[in-house]
Structure 1
Amino acid sequence: MAILPFLHRVAPKTLPFRPGSSLALLFLLLRRPLSDAADDPPFSPKPPGRAPRPRRSKARKEPPGSSRGGDPERPAGPDLPFDFRYSYSETRAAVEPIGFREPPRFSPFGPGRIDRTWTGTSAPAREAPDPEKAAGERERVLGAPLSEEEVAELVERYRHSDCNRQINLGKGGVTHNMLDDIHNHWKKAEAVRIKCLGVPTLDMDNVCFHLEDKSGGKIIYRNINILLLYRGRHYDPKQRPVIPLMLWKPYPPIYLKLVKNVAEGLTFEETKEMRNRGLNSPPLTKLTRNGVYVNVVEKVREAFKTEEVVRLDCKHVGTSDYKLIGVKLRDLVPCVPILFKDEQIILWRGKRDTESTSTSHRTLN
């Protein structure tokens, strides 16, 4: 220990114990006054010299679109010309929910981070968007159309599966936080590869529309479920829009019941007979979890030319996903879902053929 040499320099007569013992060490520490602590070698002050610099506290980096320091009096005012939603491609603004699973006052953007009010399904813009202004700004950023050689070069660079500029699009579709991911890739890459899987692949046109509309880019390549989104000739990462991030996924609201006890246009006995016929019929196709459903809509349309009821086997899809598939098919085919049971979807083509036949008879007469 550093204090032992100091004990040997003390006269042995001043110590009641042997200098090298532990009792002598304890006796010396209790005997010495506090004012002499500066002369004690283990507690001696540092030699004179340049004073150390005070450590700087690192400023906490706020996420884009957040108010500085979390001050609710200074919320961010994002200038994006559309209402903020969790998913843009998988929700319909025209359909109003009948209830909420969480209070609408809890905004998924956090308290005081944006100057918009959360309604439970969206955060509407304070001012009505100007479509002409948004279209003009988008055309300015895109610039002149790409030539065939430029498109071929970008496609060859980003279309492969080992591309490190890829975003996976799942059952949530085009989500709000995905827009921030796209702009982060556009900082160092002219295009981003988007791989689509699951329910959104039923309507790829809808996915492409919302990607272009919400990000401001342009789809330059589309092959089944693979997309390339180009940022534009005059894109400036320093002038990217402010995109406040959602801190959590909001609970989906409650909507009206999709399948009614009695299908519209049928009696109770006819609806029951249709359901039994659909359950006993062979499946039109078998769907897998997170699969590619690009051709399902066309298959159902072709089947309805000869069949009145169609069954889809969704045994490995999942309960939440196969109900979303039924909603999509109802609007895209269109058709009437009459049963969701044992992970099977039973679709009825409706009264379209009867109505078209009666219309044709009227025109002939």
Structure 2
Amino acid sequence: MLKLLPWRPSPPKTQPIFNTSRLFSHSLRRHDDGDDDPPFSPISKPQQPTKKKNNKKKKDPEPSPSPKKAPTKPLKSDLPFDFRYSYSETNPSVEPIGFRESPKFSPFGPGRLDRKWTGTAAPAQGEVDRVKVAEERRRILGEPLTEEEVSELVERYRHNDCARQINLGKEGVTHNMLDDIHNHWKRAEAVRIKCLGVPTLDMDNVCSHLEEKSGGKIIYRHINVLLIYGGRNYDPKNRPVIPLMMWKPYAPIYPKLVKNVADGLTFEETKELRNRGLNSHPLMILTRNGNYVNVVERVREAFKTEEVVRLDCKHVGTTDCKRIGVKLRDLVPCVPILFKDEQIILWRGKTDNDKTDED
């Protein structure tokens, strides 16, 4: 048989006791070693001695005198004609009845031109020697071009992809366009000019102003495309002085274009012609900035059988409608009796047959 032993409780587990003196000595020994870096502490900058403030205000240094610009003298041009914004689209014989801006505001800028601006033009100073001007132009042009030379220039500059091209719009031959032509003549013998809009009604007028004002010569003309030649003896270094216009001047006020009662008719007859024109079939439909080379001939042919003609200018614009009416009045000739809803009504006027019938 097993012998039972008496039960005794097990002794409690004791936790290890740390020696604090040993831990303290270990920590001291760790800091004494040179392997570990001490903690970083930024070094404060030494304070600079402060300067005593001076209550006295310092005087600002005197500014150095700026160099004075020498006064620019006004440009003097020997061109023998009056300077205008547009040469081909203005009639010097028609005097304006008023101005929208004071004539003292010159588009050439204040003090930049020795000519006085009158509101429509800057007249040439002194008398112009036409004989001397013609001789100088003949000298620059030199001998006339041969047919082979003309054909070569035309083949070189007449195409649409020509780099030497100037577009002539509704303003016609303008003053600044003359400077553009001379700039092209620096590197090219001829300049291609493509004309569109109202000036194409009278291409003869455009060609005459281009030759007179630039001094060149038209060597090619096809419908609305021109080639202007500078001349054999043209020297870009001795080109004429052309002062540029800085802005477009306001158009002056001219007399009324359409009268309430047409000359030679009564009020009832004028009203009847206007109604007849508005209800008639349009002779032509004009587009904006189009080619109007054949408009004058078409109107003349129509007046052989018709008394009143209507032109549809729906997409042209009111301003261009009036310009077209003015040119047709002088070129056909005829009488504009109505501008309404961008429609131009033209009356052929009193003919010889009408006068004999009245007698």
Give the alignment's TM-score, normalised by structure 2.
Answer: 0.81
Q: Does 1:31 align with 2:48?
A: yes
Aligned to 1:139: 138
Worse-superposed segment, 96-105 or 125-134: 125-134
Equivalent position of 2:277 in the other structure: 278
Tell whether 2:105 aligns with 1:88.
no
CA distance in 2, matches of 1:186, 1:164: 12
Superposition deviation, residue 357 in structure 1: 5.3
The whole-number CA distance in structure 2 between the counterparts of 1:196 and 1:182 is 14
Deviation at 1:277, TM superposition (A): 0.3
Task: Report the alpha carbon displacement of residue 183 of structure 1 after superposing the two structures with TM.
Answer: 0.2
Unaligned runs of 5+ in 1: 1-16, 35-68
- 1:18 is aligned, of 42, 50, 58, to 42
Query: Which has the larger share of helix?
Result: 1
What is the DSSP-based 3-state SS (H/G/I as helix, E as strand, rest coil) of the residue aligned with 2:232? coil
Aligned residue for 2:270, secondary structure, equals helix
Query: Secondary structure of 2:336's match?
Result: strand
Partners of 1:168 and 1:353 lie apart in 2 by 42
What SS does structure 2 have at the residue aligned with 1:85? coil
Q: How does 1:35-50 map to 2 (within 5 A)?
A: none
2:178 aligned with 1:187, yes or no? Answer: no
* Unmatched 5+ stretches in structure 2: 1-40, 52-68
Distance 1:277 1:155, change over 3 A: same
Report the counterpart of residue 254 of structure 1 in structure 2: 253
- Does residue 71 (structure 1) correspond to residue 95 (structure 2)? The answer is no
- Displacement of 1:138 in angstroms is 0.5
Look up the match of 2:212. 213
Query: Helix, strand or coil: the match of 1:84?
Result: coil
Query: Shift in Å at residue 356 of structure 1?
Result: 7.5
CA distance in 2, matches of 1:137, 1:127: 18
Partner of 2:310: 311
Mapped partners of 2:246, 2:355: distance in 1: 50
CA distance in 2, matches of 1:202, 1:177: 22
Letter in 1 for 2:71: D
Instruction: Indicate the residue corresponding to 1:109 in structure 2.
Output: 108
Deviations 1:330-349 (A, max 9, x none): 00000000000010000000
Distance 1:134 1:309, change over 3 A: same
For 1:181, what is the secondary structure of its paired residue?
helix
- The equivalent residue for 1:122 is 121
What is the CA distance between 1:352 and its match in structure 2? 2.6
**Distance in structure 2 (CA, Å) of the matches to 1:232 and 1:224:** 23
Output the amino acid matched with 1:230.
Answer: Y
Match runs of 1:2-13 below 5 Å:
none
Shift of 1:70: 8.4
- Largest Rg, 1 or 2: 2
Q: Aligned residue for 1:53? A: none
1:164 corresponds to: 163
How far apart, in 2, do the equivalents of 1:32 and 1:323 lie? 87
Deviation at 1:133, TM superposition (A): 1.1
Contact 1:190/1:232 (<8 A) preserved: yes
3-state SS in 1 of match to 2:124: coil
Pairwise CA distance, 1:132: 1.0
Distance 1:281 1:248, change over 3 A: same
Q: How far did 1:131 drift?
A: 1.3
Name the CA distance, whole Å, in 1 between partners of 2:223 and 2:182.
24
Distance 2:49 2:228 in 1: 78
TM-score normalised by the chain length of structure 1:
0.80
* Counterpart contact for 1:211–1:217, Cα < 8 Å: yes
Who is 1:175 aligned against?
174
Contact 1:71/1:112 (<8 A) preserved: no
After superposition, what is the alpha-carbon deviation per residue over 1:173-225, rounded to whole angstroms, capped at 9, x for unaligned?
00000000000000000000000000000000000000000000000000000
SS of residue matched to 2:132: helix
Residues 136-164 of structure 1, C-alpha deviations (whole Å, 9 max, x = no match)? 11000000000000000000000000000
**Residue number in structure 1 paired with 2:336:** 337
How far apart, CA to CA, are the structure 2 residues paired with 1:70 and 1:282? 67
Counterpart secondary structure, 1:122 = coil
Question: Which 4+ residue blocks in structure 1 deviate beyond 6 angstroms?
Answer: none
Q: Distance in 2 between matches of 1:172 and 1:32?
A: 78
Report the equivalent of 1:228: 227
Q: Secondary structure at the match of 2:180?
A: helix
Instruction: Classify the secondary structure of the residue corresponding to 1:244.
Output: coil
Residues 201 and 294 in structure 1, CA contact (< 8 A), matched pair in contact too: yes
